[in-house]
Each structure stands twice: as C-alpha cells, then as structure tokens.
C-alpha cells in the first residue's frame, strides 16, 4: 500500500472503522461516548474516523510480550474512574 498524503486521507464511518479494528460498531460507539476510543470527526451529522487515527489508537496497545508495559494503554469501552488527584478533598469541619 502506498503512503497517503494529508489531502488523500481516507475517512471511515463507524461500521467500517469497527471492522478495521476488529470491534463491533456498538463497542466503538461506547469508546466514543466514554472518551476511551480513537480520535473522530463530526462532519455535519456524520461521525468519521481517519484511517491514520485508527491505526495510531490501535498501536497504543502494541506489546512485545505479556511483561512488556508498552508505551500506551487502550482502555476498555467503559466509564473510567475519575483521576483521584483531580478531585478536591473536603475535610470535616472546614467551610
């Protein structure tokens, strides 16, 4: 396959993108809802994914072995716990 320039980037709709990633369309929709999925674009009322963004997201999960920590994480398609350091702590008796 030849290299693509930015002007010839291919955009995939959700069903095509899901097939490319080996996921169901519903799982990709959940990733979009929870903010755990690949970058997407909204063009008019249509959701599209750039091929390169799908590949980059999938590459974040690349590992050499089960002990390889890798360089990124592909989270499951579910609501993620909020970052504990970002939540202000209220102490009893303080106003």
Alpha carbon distance 39, 17 (integer Å): 11
- Residue 7 belongs to what H/E stretch? none
- DSSP bridge partners of 41: 48
The pLDDT assigned to 64 comes to: 77
pLDDT digits (tens, 9 = 90+) for 1-49: 445 555 567 899 999 999 999 999 999 999 999 999 999 999 999 999 9
Q: What does each C-alpha distance from 54 to 26, 45, 80 come to in angstroms? A: 16, 20, 20
The pLDDT assigned to 2 comes to: 47
pLDDT digits (tens, 9 = 90+) for 38-92: 999 999 999 999 999 999 999 988 877 888 776 777 766 777 777 655 555 555 6
Alpha carbon distance 70, 62 (integer Å): 6
Residue whose token pair is 């990633």? 21
């Amino acid at each position: 396959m030849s290299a693509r320039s930015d002007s010839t980037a291919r955009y995939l709709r959700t069903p095509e993108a899901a097939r490319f990633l080996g996921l169901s369309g519903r799982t990709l929709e959940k990733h979009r809802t929870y903010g755990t999925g690949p970058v997407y674009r909204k063009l008019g009322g249509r959701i599209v994914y750039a091929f390169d963004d799908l590949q980059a997201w999938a590459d974040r999960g690349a590992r050499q072995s089960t002990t390889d920590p890798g360089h990124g994480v592909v989270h499951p398609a579910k609501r993620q716990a909020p970052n504990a350091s970002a939540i202000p702590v209220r102490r009893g008796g303080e106003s």
